[in-house]
Structures are given as structure tokens and as C-alpha cells.
Structure 1
Amino acid sequence: MLAVLANRTYRHLFAAQVIALLGTGLLTVALGLLAFELAGESAGAVLGTALAIKMIAYVGVAPIASAFAERMPRRAMLVALDLVRAGVALFLPFVTEVWQIYVLIFVLQAASAAFTPTFQATIPDVLPDEKDYTRALSLSRLAYDLESLVSPMLAAALLTVISYHNLFAGTVVGFLVSAALVVSVVLPSPKPSVPRGIYDRTTRGIRIYLATPRLRGLLAINMAVAAAGALVIVNTVVYVQAAFGLDQSDTALALAVFGGGSMLVALVLPRLLDSIPDRTAMLAGASVLAVATLIAAAIPSYGWLLPLWFIIGAGYSMAQTPSGRLLRRSSHAEDRPALFAAQFALSHACWLITYPLAGWAGAAFGLSANSVTLAVIAGSAVAAAAWLWPAGDPEIVEHSHEGLPAGHPHWNEGIADGRNRHAHAYVIDDLHSAWPHAR
């Protein structure tokens, strides 16, 4: 897996990702402490609102940002967004009112909503070989999981010698180093083939996404992932400390076990995907999530929760990690930022539904009813994914073009059969506005 780090451009981008993630992790810890200082016992409500603002920014800003990204070189855009995030983190220690947290968090997350899809869309252009790209996806998954483990430990160690306000400085440094690493390499910036209006550019990614059967299946899988993930992220503390009467260290261990399951699958997944289709792996992972979420309704003790959380982590990684391969396969290079932005927005829209549901249903009806509710959502999503994403999903599709002149150069692409039809790698674009029906 680490062989892809021999590519200098990818190595610098991966380092930028890891360092920015660590900075974000420190920010999360510091923000919680700041909220407690400003709001006391209402800190949970403040953080909950901040989390909702984050999701709204992700859902609303990503497609718009991708439309403007076409007008800028990718490297310049990524560096500018890192600098914006560093600037926001620089202001956070001076916040004195709760509303100021909300404003700064929106700006920070809006910048992240523009940064992440653009960054993700750059990697397949840097690593055009599918095996290398698959390994890069697994490394990215590992980076996210390690951040969730390392950042709290690093923050705890730093808080023994500095105040939490100084954690914001660590975040600033993280974003600045990330920007410097991006500056140190030359990034491809495919240009759109034709000029497009702002509406076309804003909606293009979502239109491509919803017109592609495998991506409609991916959207359903996103919902299964969000349902199971919300159970773990929102309710682990409730299970461990309220239901089982344990302490914060036990909560941290449970979350670490969840991350450990995810990391283990991320390590073995590249080799696994060499021998099984993406659809098989992702549906299997999503099915594991649905079943495990249902089992969570009857957890008798902490000793049972830990292996179940490990299994959920494994299913989480298997269902989610290959998604980048589907997005790459379903778009031209110039459309990838828009398509990755659509995935970013639509997947976070799923979280925007399941996060509050996991919290409200758990508080109102109890953990068992909450788990059953989320399991029903996950199970329904798996069934929808299996239906929306055909089992036979070839990359090369035979199709016709009604009204396309015989002399059009597009007829020279792929293999023609002499019956006004030809076959090539099929993606939704200006010449292919809908998916052809199976013959």
C-alpha cells in the first residue's frame, strides 16, 4: 500500500491531508472546551448547533464552490482555502460570544466544503493507475481513522503543559503546513471543454451523479453508512456512561475499537478489491452495518459492545472506502471536481438526517428503539442500493446517438457495429445525457 508514496506529488498531498486532519482534530477538542467556558452546562447545545451548521455548510456550499473551482487552478484554490481555514482558527481564541462561534464555524466549514472535494478530485489525476488510486483511497481512510485516535491523545498531552487556547495555534500551524506542502508540487487542473453558465456548473455534478445507476446505488449506501455511523458517534457515550455506568476512558476505548475495525479493513481492502467487484464489497459492508445496528438494540454489556463496534467499524470502511473508484469511473477528468462535490454534499445530507435522528430518538424512546430505527433505515438503504445499482455494471456500454450526424468525430470513439451504434467507456456528459437502457 505504501508504494504509492513513491509518487512525490501524492506524497506531499497525503502529508498535507494528514497534517490538516491533525489540526482539525485539535480544533475539535479546543472548540468543545471553548463552548464549555462560554456556555457552561449548555455547551452540548452549542456543539450540537455547531455540528448542524457544519453539515449545512457541507451540503450547501460544496456544489457552488465546485462551480467556481473551474475558474481557478487547483493548487491556487487549495492553498487559498487552507489560508482561510488558518485565519478562522486564528480568530477563535478571541471569541467572547456564542454567536461568534457559529459564524466562524460556518466560514471554516464552508472552506472545508470547497477544499475536500477539490482535493479528492485531484488524486485520480495524480495517480491514474486504478490499483495505485485504490491504495491511495485506503491510505486516506487510514488517515481519517488515525486522526480520530491520535488527535484526542495529542490534545490531552498538550493540555498538560499549555492552555486549550494554544490548541488553536496548533490548528493554524496545521493548515499553514498543509498549504506549504500543496505549494511544493505541481497539480493537474483539467479545463472544461466548453464554457458553461453558473447554473450549469453548480448543478452539473449532482445531475451526473443522479443520472448514473452505480452512483444512485452509492447514495443509498451513503445513507446506510450514515445510519450506522450516527449510532456510534452520537450514542457511544450514552451506551457506555449512562447505560453501563462506566467512565470517559471507556468511551474513548469504544470509539478507538470502532476506528480499529475501520483501519483493519482499510489495510486489507486494496488486495480484496483486486479480486471482487466494488459493488460486492460495498453492499457486503453496508449489510454488515445494517445487521450490526440491529444487534445494538440488545447489547447486554460493555463486553459485547466492543466487538460489535469493531464489526461496525469494519463494515463502515468496506462500504465507504471504494466510493472514490466509482466517482472516477463515472466522470471525465474535467467533471471530477463537480462530481466529488456532489458526493460530498449528498453524503453529508444523509448525515444531516441521521445525526439529529440518532440523538432525538435515543433521548425520546431509548437506545433499543433508536437502534431499531437506524437499522431499518440502513437495511432499507442496502435494499435500495442493490436495486438501483445493477449487478451487471460494465464500464464499456453499447449505445446509439439519435440525431448525431454521421460525420461527427464522436463516432470514431470506441468500437462501432455498423448499425448507428458504438461502444466505449460510458459516462454522463454533453453527448450522453441519460444512461442507456439494457438491450
Structure 2
Amino acid sequence: MLGILCNRTYRHLFAAQVIALLGTGLMTVALGLLAYDLAGPDAGAVLGTALAIKMVAYVGVAPVAQASTDQLPRRPLLVGLDLIRGAVALCLPFVTEIWHIYLLIFVLQSASAAFTPTFQATIPDILPDEGDYTRALSLSRLAYDLENLVSPMLAAALLSVFSFHNLFAGTVAGFLASALLVLGVRLPVARPGPRSGIWDRTTRGMRIYLATPRLRGLLAINFAVAAAGSMVIVNTVVLVKTDFSLAEPQVALALAIFGAGSMIAALALPRVLDRLSDRLVMIAGACLLAAGTAAGILVGSFGVLLMLWLVLGFGYSAAQTPSGRLLRRSAHPEDRPALFAAQFALSHGCWLICYPLAGYLGATVGMDGAFAAMAATGLVGVVMARRVWPSDDPAAVPHHHPDLPADHLHLRSFGSHDHHHHPFVIDDLHARWPT
């Protein structure tokens, strides 16, 4: 897996991702402490609102930002967005009002909503071989899981020496280092998309996404992932501290075990995907998530919770890590940024629904009811994925173009009206999937 790091451009981008994630992890810890400093016992409500603002920015800003910046060169765009994020992090230690937090978080997460899809869409152009790209996806998943493990430990070490305000300096340093690493390489020039109005460019990724059966299946799997993941992220602290009467170290341990399960799957996936289809692996992962969430009703001890969280972490990674392969396969290179932005917005839309649902159910009907409801939600996602994503999902699909003249370049390139067969993606000539 580490062989792809021999590619200098990818190595720089991966290092930029890891360092920026560590900085973001430090900011997460510092933001919680800042909220408590400003709001005291109401800090949870402040953080919940900040998380909702983050998701709204991700869902609403990503497609618009991509459409507005699709003609800009990638390297200065990514560097500029890193600098914006660093500037916002630099301002956070000086806030004195809660609304300042909300405003700065919206600006920072809006920049991230533009940065992340552009970054993700660049990797397939750097690593055109599907095997290499699969390994890059697994490394990216590992980076996210390591951030969940390392950032809290690093924050704890720094807090033993400095005040929490200094953690924001680590965030600024992370974004600056990311900008320098991106600045140090030459990125492939993005193929320009079709010239059209801003509304058409904003909605193009969504239209391609929702017209492609395998991506409609991916959306259903995103929903199953969010249903199970929200139970872990939102309710771990309640389960550990209230149900089992344990302390903060055990909360951190439970979340670390979830991350460990995800890392195990990420390490295994490149070899698994060489033998099994993306559909089989991702639906199996989603089934594991739904079944594991239902099994939460039976958890009676902290040890059993840890085993369950390990299983859920494995399913979490298996269900979502291959998604980049589906996106890469489902669009022309010039449409990939729009498609990655659509995936970014739609997947976070699933989390925007499931985060408050998991928290509300846990608080009102109890954990057993929350586990049952979120398991049912995940099962709906699995059933929909199986229905809308055909098991026979070839890249090349026979189809017809009765509206094109016989001498059209597309027909001359790929065959006649009656014998037309090529790798099929949604574009200006193929507005609908063949039935």
C-alpha cells in the first residue's frame, strides 16, 4: 500500500491531508473548551449548533463553490483555501461572543466545503491506475482514523503545558503546512467542463449523481453509514458515562476502538477489492452496520460495547472507503470535481439528518429505542441500495442515439445507432441511463 508514496505529487498531497487533519483535530478539542469557557453548562448546545452549521455549510456550499471555482487552476485554489482556513483558526482564540464562534465556523467550513471535493477530484488524475487509486483511498481512510486517535492524545500533551488557546496555533500551523506542501508540487491541469450558466454548473454534479444507478446506491449506503455512525459519535459519551458510570478515558477508548476497526478494514480493502466487486463489499459493510446497530440493544457491559464498536468501525470503513472508485468510474475527468462536490454535499446531508435524530431519540426514548430506530434506518438504506444498484453493473452499456445524425462524430467513434457500445457515463450526449 505504501508504494504509492513513491509518487512525489501524491506524497505531498497525502502529507498535506494528514497535517491538516491533525490541526483540525486540535481545533475540535480547543473549540469544546472555548465553548465551555464562554457558555459554561450550555457548551453542549453551542457545540451542537456549531456542528449543525458545519453540516449546513457542507451541504449548501460545496456545489456552489465548485461551480464558481471550476475554471480556476487547482494549486492556487487549494493554497488559497488553506490560507483562509488558517486565518479563521487564527481568529478563534480572540472571540468573546458565542455568535463569533458560529460565524467563524461557517466561514472555515465553507472553505473546507470548497477544498475537500477539489482535493479529492485531483487524486484520480495523479493516480490513473485503479489499483493505485484504491490504495490511496485506503490511506485516506487511515489518515482520518489516525487523526481521531492521535489528535486527542496530542491535545492532552499540549494542554499539560499550554492553555487551550494555544491549540488553535497548532491548527493554524497545520493549514499553513498543508498550503506549503501543495505549493511544492505541480498538479495536473483540470480539464475544463462545458461552458454553461452558473445554475447548470452548480447542479451538474447532482444531475449526474442522481441519474447514475450505482451512485443512487451509494447515496443509500451513505444513509446507512450515517445512521450507524451517528449512534457512535453522538451517544458514546452517554453510554459510557451514564449507562456504565465510567469516565472520560473510557469514552476516548471506545472511540479509539471504533477507529481501530475502521483502520483494520482500510488495510484489508485493497486486496479484498482486487477479488470482490465494490457493490458486494459496500453493501456487506452496510449490512454489518445495520446488524451491529440493532445488536446495540443487547449491550450490557463496557467490554461488549468495545467489541461492538470494533465491528461497527470495520463496517463503517468497508461501506464508504470504495466510494471514490464509483465516482471516478461514473464521470468524465472534466465532470469529476462536480461529482465529488455532489457526493460531499449529499453524504453530509445524510449526517445532517442522522446526527440530531440519534441524539433526540437517545434523550427521549432511551438508548434501546435509539439503537432500534437507527438500525431500522440503516436497513432502509441497505434495501434501497440493493434495489437501485444493479448487481450486473458493467462499465460499457449498449444503448441507442436515435436523435443523432448517422455521420455524428460520436457514432463514428463508437459504432452505429444499432450497435453502439462504450463505457457509459451521464453527460451532454447521455442524459439518461439506458434501461
User: What is aligned with 2:225?
Assistant: 225
CA apart distance, 1:303: 1.2
Which residue of structure 1 lines up, in the alignment, with residue 153 of structure 2?
A: 153
Q: Number of paired residues? A: 435
Q: Which amino acid aligns with 2:111?
A: A
State the match for 2:34 in structure 1: 34
Identify the residue that residue 255 of structure 1 maps to in structure 2.
Answer: 255
The C-alpha deviation readout for 1:352-407, integer Å capped at 9, x for no partner, is: 00000010110000000000000000001100000010000000111111211111
Q: How does 1:136-147 map to 2 (within 5 A)?
A: 136-147=136-147
The match for 2:122 is 122
Partner of 1:379: 379
1:403 maps to which residue?
403
Which residue pairs with 2:202 in the alignment?
A: 202
CA distance in 2, matches of 1:230, 1:106: 21
Matches within 5 A, 1:264-343: 264-343=264-343
Matches within 5 A, 1:209-220: 209-220=209-220
1:82 deviates by 0.2
Q: Which amino acid aligns with 2:107?
A: V
For residues 299-328 of structure 1, give each alpha carbon's deviation from its aligned partner in whole angstroms, at most 9, with x where no partner exists. Answer: 111111011000000000000000000000
Distance 2:281 2:188 in 1: 30
User: Secondary structure, in 3 states, of the residue corresponding to 1:406?
Assistant: coil
Q: State the partner residue of 2:167.
A: 167
Matched residue type, 1:145: D
Report the alpha carbon displacement of residue 193 of structure 1 after superposing the two structures with TM. Answer: 4.7
| Partner amino acid, structure 2, of 1:349 | G
RMSD: 0.8
Q: Is the 8 A contact 2:283 2:319 kept in 1?
A: yes
Q: Is contact 1:88-1:108 (8 Å) kept?
A: yes
SS at match of 2:275: coil
**What is the CA-CA distance between 1:409 and the residue it aligns to?**
1.1
- Alpha-carbon distance in 2 for matches of 1:62, 1:179: 20
Of the candidates 419, 422, 435, which is equivalent to residue 421 of structure 1?
419
SS in 1 for 2:225: helix
Distance 1:250 1:403 in 2: 64
2: distance between equivalents of 1:238 and 1:349?
24
Instruction: Report the Cα offset of residue 419 of structure 1.
Output: 4.9
Q: For the Cα contact (< 8 Å) 2:296–2:368, is it kept in 1?
A: yes
Paired letter, 2:418: N
Could you tell me which amino acid in structure 1 is paired with residue 146 of structure 2? L
SS in 2 for 1:190: coil
**In 2, Cα distance between equivalents of 1:321 and 1:412:** 38
CA distance in 1, matches of 2:317, 2:292: 14
Matches of 2:331 and 2:66, distance apart in 1: 14
Contact conserved, 1:21 with 1:144, CA < 8 A, in 2? yes
Measured after TM superposition, the shift of residue 275 of structure 1 is 0.3
Show the counterpart of 1:5: 5
Q: Contact 1:212 / 1:330 at 8 angstroms: preserved in 2?
A: yes
Alignment partner, residue 56 of structure 2 = 56
Report the Cα offset of residue 68 of structure 1.
1.4
- In 2, the alpha carbon distance for the partners of 1:315 and 1:33 equals 32
Q: Which residue is equivalent to 1:132?
A: 132
In structure 1, what residue type is equivalent to 2:393? D
Residues 413, 424 of structure 1: 8 Å contact kept: no
Change (3 A) 1:193 1:37: closer
Which residue identity lines up with residue 385 of structure 1 in the other structure?
A: A
Range 170-179 or range 401-410, more displaced: 401-410
Deviation, 1:194, is 3.0
What letter corresponds to residue 153 of structure 2 in structure 1?
M
Deviation at 1:420, TM superposition (A): 3.2
**Given that residues 289 and 378 in structure 1 are in contact (C-alpha distance below 8 angstroms), is that contact kept between their aligned partners in structure 2?**
yes
Aligned to 1:44: 44
Q: Which amino acid aligns with 2:264?
A: L
CA distance 1:202–1:104, shift in 2 (3 Å): same
Q: What TM-score comes out, normalization by structure 1 length?
A: 0.98
Q: Which amino acid aligns with 2:103?
A: V
**Is 1:104 aligned with 2:104?**
yes
1:231-276 deviations in Å (ceiling 9; x for gaps): 0000001111100111111111110000000000100100000000
Q: Structure 1 counterpart of 2:181, which letter?
A: L
Letter aligned with residue 133 of structure 1: Y
Distance 2:120 2:340 in 1: 7
1:430 aligns to what? 428
Q: 1:193 to 1:227 in 2, by over 3 A?
A: closer
1:69 shift after superposition: 2.2
Could you tell me which amino acid in structure 1 is paired with residue 58 of structure 2? Y
Q: How far apart, in 2, do the equivalents of 1:84 and 1:194 lie? A: 28
Runs of 4+ in 1 over 2 A off after TM superposition: 189-194, 418-421
Quick one: distance in 2 between partners of 1:380 and 1:404? 40
Aligned partner of residue 399 in structure 2, secondary structure: strand
- Would the aligned equivalents of 2:138 and 2:266 in 1 still touch at CA under 8 Å? yes
Q: One-letter code of the match for 2:312?
A: I
Judge conservation of contact 1:70–1:191 (CA < 8 Å) in 2. Answer: no
Structure 1 counterpart SS, 2:420? strand
Q: What's the counterpart of residue 365 of structure 2?
A: 365
- Residue in structure 1 matched with residue 90 of structure 2 by the alignment: 90
Matched-pair contact (CA < 8 Å) for 1:23–1:170: yes
Deviations 1:205-242 (A, max 9, x none): 00000000000000000000000000000000111110
Unaligned segments of structure 1, at least 5 residues:
none
Contact 1:13 1:181 in 2 (8 A): yes
Contact 1:137 1:324 in 2 (8 A): yes
Structure 2 contact 117–341 (Cα < 8 Å) conserved: yes
Q: Which amino acid aligns with 1:179?
A: A
Structure 1 residue matching 2:276: 3-state secondary structure: coil
| SS of equivalent to 1:100 | helix
What is the 5 A alignment of 1:230-241? Answer: 230-241=230-241
Name structure 2 gaps, 5 residues minimum.
none
Partner of 1:72: 72
When normalised by structure 2's length, the TM-score is: 0.99
Amino acid at match of 2:419: R
* CA–CA distance in structure 2, aligned partners of residues 194 and 239 of structure 1: 51
Q: Deviation at 1:34?
A: 0.4
